[in-house]
Structure formats: structure tokens, C-alpha cells
Amino acid sequence: MFAAAVAIDDPDDLPDGIDDSKNLSPERREELAAALRADEAVAVGVAEITTTRIDDPETDMNTLTVAAHGEAISRIVSGGERGIVDACDTSESRFARRVAAAVGPEITVEAEHGADETHAIVGAASIVAKVERDAHVARLAEQHGGVGSGYPSDPNTREFLREYVEAHGELPECARASWQTSKDALAAREQAGLDQF
């Protein structure tokens, strides 16, 4: 999981065409992310939540999402700033409080559903996070061959996991063991082993 934070003195100075990353082509996202990173007036912070952290039974995805936002914001703020995040919780105010607590008391955080579409600064952060995630998946593909999108619903990702488990007897380090997709791949190998016994 990746999260990003972007800061600029005047959001009107962001590149034209900023939008929620889901509304942009991969090529356009890469162009915009490169422009953001090249602009000295723009601060960019990125946080990665690894599969090990995701699979830790002592945590949950809501807590990790808050942590990702907090870590990304902490990389670019020094105190006294105000910011807005896309609310990843049914309660905007609760999500804002939790992210603010993760960053520190000197930061004021607002949260809004759909903020990546209505606030260019949040859209910019979503673009950077998506480009980082895509680059991560591309590196995994260089290492393992076709891994698909990396999402558990992707048939190519499911096939990669099935073939990897069949060949190695375990999940690759990049897979979330807590995914049902991963559990299914392990169960299928175990069943195949029993059938051959």
C-alpha cells in the first residue's frame, strides 16, 4: 500500500490537469508525477506499508491507512500546517482526527470524501501514490515475470500466485498472506499434494 502527501504554497501553481489518479491514464499520471517531483516549490512525501505490516495480526487496514497517511505527511511538514486528505473512513471527522494524531498536534487535518477529485492538492498526492505503486509492481514484474496489476481480483495476479506457489511451495515475499487469493493458492497446492499421495 502506498500513500503520498503533496505540499505547495499556492495550489493554483500545480500543473494543469491534476485529477484523481483513477481518472487519468498511466502515461498522464507519470507525466504529472514527474512534473510535481521536478518542481522545487512542491514538497512530496511517500509512505509504503509493506505486506509484512499488512499481514500483522495485531493491526487492521483502517489503522494502516491512517498510518500511511500520517507517515507520508510527516515526511513533508514541520509544524503549523493545515492540510486536507481523502477520507478513507465512513466518518470524515474521525479519519481527520486519527491522521492528525499520527502526524502530531501541531498539524491541522481535514478529511473529505472524494477530496482527490475536488481538491487539486489531494489529486496530486493520489497521482504520486499511484505512480509509486505502479513502479513497485513493475519492479516485481522484472523480478518474477508477469504479476498482473497486483490486485487480488486480477486474473493475471491470481495466476501468478498459483504458479509461484505450485513451483516454490510458498507465497512470494511480495504477496499478502492475508489475501483470500493467497490462501486459495496455498490450499490448491496442498489439495494437489494430497491428491497425489
Looking at the chain, the whole-number percentage of residues with pLDDT higher than 90 is 68
Nine-digit cell string for 7: 505540499
Q: For the domain 146-195, what is the CATH code?
A: 1.10.10.460
Nine-digit cell string for 33: 508525477
CATH architecture of the domain with residue range 2-140: 2-Layer Sandwich (3.30)
Q: Which residue has the higher pLDDT, 100 or 152?
A: 100
Q: Which residue has the higher pLDDT, 104 or 160?
A: 160
Q: What pTM value is reported for the model?
A: 0.87
With H, G, I as helix, E, B as strand and everything else as coil, classify residue 76: coil
Query: What pairs with residue 78 in β-bridges?
Result: none
59-86 pLDDT, tens digit each: 999 999 999 999 999 999 877 788 999 9
Q: Check residue 180 and give its pLDDT.
A: 83
Name residues whose C-beta falls within 8 Å of residue 144's C-beta, 6 or more positions apart in sequence. Answer: 160, 164, 172, 174
Nine-digit cell string for 123: 489529486
Residue 195 has pLDDT above 50, yes or no: no
For the chain, give the longest Cα–Cα distance.
67
Q: Are 42 and 120 in contact (CB under 8 A)?
A: no
Nine-digit cell string for 78: 514541520
Q: Check residue 125 and give its pLDDT.
A: 97
Q: Is 146-195 in the same CATH topology as 2-140?
A: no
Which range among 18-22, 119-123, 176-180 shows the weakest confidence by mean pLDDT? 176-180
89-103 pLDDT, tens digit each: 999 999 999 999 999
Domain locations in the chain? Answer: 2-140, 146-195
Averaging pLDDT over each range in 5-9, 149-153, 187-191, which range is the top one? 5-9
Query: What pairs with residue 2 in β-bridges?
Result: 48
DSSP string of 88-114? -SS-HHHHHHHHHHHH-TT-EEEEETT
